[in-house]
Amino acid sequence: MCGIVGLFAKNPDLKENLGQHLSEMLKGMSQRGPDSTGFAVYSDNSLDNSVKFTLFNGITQSTWADVKAELETTIGVPVNLETRGSHAVITASSTVEKILSFLGSQHPEIRVMGYGHRIEIYKEKGLAADVVGRFGLSEMSGSHGIGHTRMATESAITTEHSHPFIAASDICLVHNGSLSNYNGLRRRLQNYGMSFETDNDSEVAARYVAYRMNEGASLREALEAALKDIDGFYTFAVGTIDGFAVVRDGIACKPAVMAETDDWVAMASEYRSLAHLPGADTAKVWEPEPAVVYSWGQE
């Protein structure tokens, strides 16, 4: 069992309090996933010509300031650094490839939680209330976000094994369920040159979506292909640069409920995570049908 949530602000006035709402939604899913908690927030104020990385530094002796200085020397442009709990967000007018190359060669011990233009991903072991507090989620603003509370069933409980999993630039995935053909699928993707950070099944789903989109598929097409290629029980929520998508397996084994008002669209594993949202009592509420891709923003 795990809990997943997603919130998309249709009304710009909601963006200021997006973190606050997402925080309450995650707390509502605490019982479904007490092992670890994670979330992705898409901020609204990023510059299109800059890239943003969320990093986790579990073991390195270097301070974030050292890493920033080294990176500035390597890429030759100023780097903005902000730290939140155990994570740091660096922003620079550079490319994803240059920064990944720097991290891979100079700081392989640093884990990349997320990257893109707008996405920030924070995840850690612990109950939702503790983890959202450590990262200050309730003070964050943004256009949309997804989150996850994990009850681990098939791989270790670490920060790296927590959700969301970054799939590609500004695309991440959270998963409630368990996949059955992920080892084979991982080998297939490795043969196509993809690398993996963990032995987690949900990471395979994230990389699969990235692989399909890299091949030219739209998000919808990638998820429709996933319905054929990924075997197991799942409700996936996928965050994209301007929205999110939800899909359930062919027999809808894992729960999902969606709600929509004029101001927002939200999904959660259980209604209790939606009940506190403004206007939830009069929202249109429904459960997504099996094997149907629902998406807002990017198709």
Partner 1 sequence: MTVIDLSKTSLRDLNQRLHDLNGADRNNEWRITNPSGEHAIAVGLNAPTNVQIDGPVGYYCGGMNKEAMITINGHCGWGVGENIMSGFIRVKGNASESAGASGRGGMIVIEGDASSRCGISMKGVDIVVTGSVGHMSAFLAQKGHLVVGGDVGPDLGASIYEAVIYVQGKVNGLGTDCIEKDMTPEHRKNLARLLQEAGVDMNPAGFRRYGSARKLYHFNVDHADAY
172 carries an active-site annotation: no
C-alpha closest to that of 35 among 199, 150, 180, 175: 150
Q: Which is nearer to partner 1, 76 or 290 (CB)?
A: 290
Number of residues interacting with partner 1: please give it, by CB under 8 A. Answer: 14
Binding mask 268-297 for partner 1 (x = CB under 8 A): --xxxx-x---------xxx-xx-------
Q: According to CB under 8 A, which residues from 75 to 104 bind partner 1?
A: none
Kindly state the tokens that stand for 123. 């995840």
Contact 298, 242 (CB under 8 A): yes
Kindly state the tokens that stand for 135. 């990262």
CB of 247 to partner 1, least distance (A): 15
Kindly state the tokens that stand for 138. 């309730």
Contact 142, 170 (CB under 8 A): no
* Angle at CA of residue 57, ends 239 and 160, nearest 5°: 50
| Sole window of 111-119, 181-189, 208-216, 264-272 interacting with partner 1 (rule: CB under 8 A) | 264-272
Q: Which is nearer to partner 1, 67 or 259 (CB)?
A: 259
Binding mask 21-60 for partner 1 (x = CB under 8 A): -------x--------------------------------
Nearest-angstrom CA–CA distance, 126 and 124: 6
What is 62-97 written as a DSSP string? S-HHHHHHHHHHHH-S-EEEEEETTEEEEEESS-HH
Q: According to CB under 8 A, which residues from 209 to 228 bind partner 1?
A: none
**Amino acid type, 42:** Y
Q: Which is nearer to partner 1, 289 or 299 (CB)?
A: 289
Which residues make up the interface to partner 1 (CB under 8 A)? 28, 252, 255, 257, 270-273, 275, 285-287, 289-290
